[in-house]
Amino acid sequence: MSEFIKLFPDYEDVFYDDLENHKKYFLPICSFNLQLLEPSKNEWLHIVSVKEIYDGCVGEESEEYHTQFTKSDMLGFDIIDGKYKFDSDWNYFQAFNEITPEQYGEDFSDLDIEYNMNEAMYQLKKAYYNKHGKLYDKYSYRPGLIVDDIRRLERLRQLTVEDLEKDEDSDYMVERAEKKLYGIFEELNIEKKSLEDSNFGGENLMNKPTLNEELLDYIACIEGYDFQQNAADQIFLFHDDSIKKAVICFEYT
Write out pLDDT tens, residues 5-14: 999 999 999 9
Residue 1 pLDDT greater than 80, yes or no? no
pLDDT digits (tens, 9 = 90+) for 62-113: 999 999 999 999 999 999 999 999 999 999 999 999 999 999 999 999 999 9
Q: How far apart are CA 183 and CA 172, in angstroms?
A: 15
Decide: 209 and 195 in contact? Cβ < 8 Å.
no
Beta bridge partners of 26: 50
DSSP letter (8 states) at residue 80: E
- Angle at CA 199, nearest 5°, toward 67 and 250? 30
SS3 content of the chain, % helix, strand, coil (to 5): 30, 25, 45
Give the whole-angstrom CA distance, residue 37 versus residue 41.
8
> CA gyration radius for the chain?
18
pLDDT of 117-172, one tens digit each? 999 999 999 999 999 999 999 998 899 999 999 999 999 999 999 999 999 999 99
Largest Cα–Cα distance in the chain?
56
Mean pLDDT of 24-46: 95
Residues in the chain, how many? 253
pLDDT for 45 beyond 80:
yes
Q: How many other CB atoms are there within 10 angstroms of residue 20's CB atom?
A: 8
pLDDT at position 253: 84
Residue 70 identity: T
Domain count within the chain: 1
Residue 55: pLDDT band (50, 70, 90) is confident
**Which residue range forms the structural domain that includes residue 33?**
5-251
The predicted pLDDT at position 87 comes to 97
* CA–CA gap between residue 191 and residue 76 (Å, rounded): 24
Q: How far is CA 211 from the centre of its chain?
A: 23
Question: 111 with 54: CB under 8 angstroms?
Answer: yes
> Is it the case that residue 188 has pLDDT exceeding 70?
yes
pLDDT, tens digit, 9 for 90 and up, residues 218-239: 999 999 999 999 999 999 999 9
For residue 121, what pLDDT is reported? 97
Mean pLDDT of 36-44: 92
Asked whether the predicted pLDDT for residue 249 surpasses 90, the reply is yes
